[in-house]
Amino acid sequence: MTTTGERPVTPVGEEPVTAPGGEMYTLVERLYPLCRSITGDGVRATLEIVDEYVPLQVHEVPTGTRVLDWTVPQEWNIRDAYIADSTGERVVDFAASSLHVLGYSVPVSATMPLAELRPHLHTLPEHPSWVPYRTSYYKPDWGFCLAQETLDALPDGEYEVRIDSTLADGHLTYAEHVVPGQVPDEVVVSCHVCHPSLANDNLAGIAVATFLARALARETPYHTYRFLFAPGTIGAITWLARNQERIGNVKHGLVLACAGDRGHLTYKKSRRGDAEIDRVLRHVLASSERPHEIKEFAPYGYDERQFCSPGFNLGVGSLTRTPYAGYPEYHTSADDLDFVSPEAMADTLAVCREAFAVLDRNRRYVNLSPYGEPQLGRRGLYDAIGGRSDAKQAQMAMLWVLSLSDGEHGLLDVAERSGLSFDTVAAAADALAAAGLVKA
């Protein structure tokens, strides 16, 4: 892992890559105990682990740097925090879970009665055994998060309150991994690395992005794939601010989040609504017959809203399983290692690979024999497909490709209009190109 302000292309590995759900789950297990936030050593430790799987280019952006309409905040780090009763027993302990401290809490060392402490305590009365995830990034504050049943059991009295944290000038940290393609046109795949011990949101997204990068590194993709591991909101804004001169290279994008729960897949369209990535995901999900949902764009959610902001207006959608705030466990301690499954992460990864395979093959062709229907038989094209179980579909795919190879329609257009699978259409285009009847 290298740290720099430059953005060179990352070399890809040469080892055979497999991405079973079990390996992704192991990565989630390793990352789960770390305390992450929008800045700090927890982010760096997370990226160091990811770097073991795919080499990362890490960027450090100083506090106070102007990034679009935002400013990089001070860096937050925490070593310990607790609430102890009069006997010295820790009734709330950061060492037990990083969720127990309000994110970005300023340092505190005091003794106070429970009545004075209560305004700084956050619970979920509707789920009394769960601990909520709460932050105060841009307003100096401090607090603890705990189960309602723990709070209910606290007697009146004096409590020692300790938050051993620092909030000081430092850096915002993010990382990139680039899989070089045949063309410089880029697909950005983004996931956020700012959440603490939350397995689905967003450790599963980190795991799927990591193993997707490994899988693509074993291929020779048409597009260049840029993987972005950054804190939510401020991280994406920082990346956009530092890369404005090359935004034109970004042709497509996908934000990965909530990628490991057992719900069905959900795709949220880009702001454009008809971007190529929108059409690809709709086609892949429908063709796969997986249970799924397609949602319209809304300016709330994950970092698709930054990439899709009017000034950039990139074709970036978001793929999740159950969407943000769509499950009770969201942003609570119940989003734990039992909440995600290897099978769900493997399924999310499979859809990503299917979608990018379509995206990479979705070329436009020109019919080189456009006056009337060319004779396929004498070119051996019928013989080539005669033994196939789907020979009729393959023949129809050739006719559709010839009909729509006018330089204006891509293979996805052909698949959508004909009702044939993209793979069948792509195979027909390959056969026709080999026979000299079409060219990309």
Residue list for the binding site for Zn(2+): 195, 201, 331
Annotated binding-site ranges: 195, 201, 331
Residues contacting residue 252 through CB under 8 Å, at least 6 positions apart = 186, 187, 188, 223, 275, 276, 277, 315, 316, 359
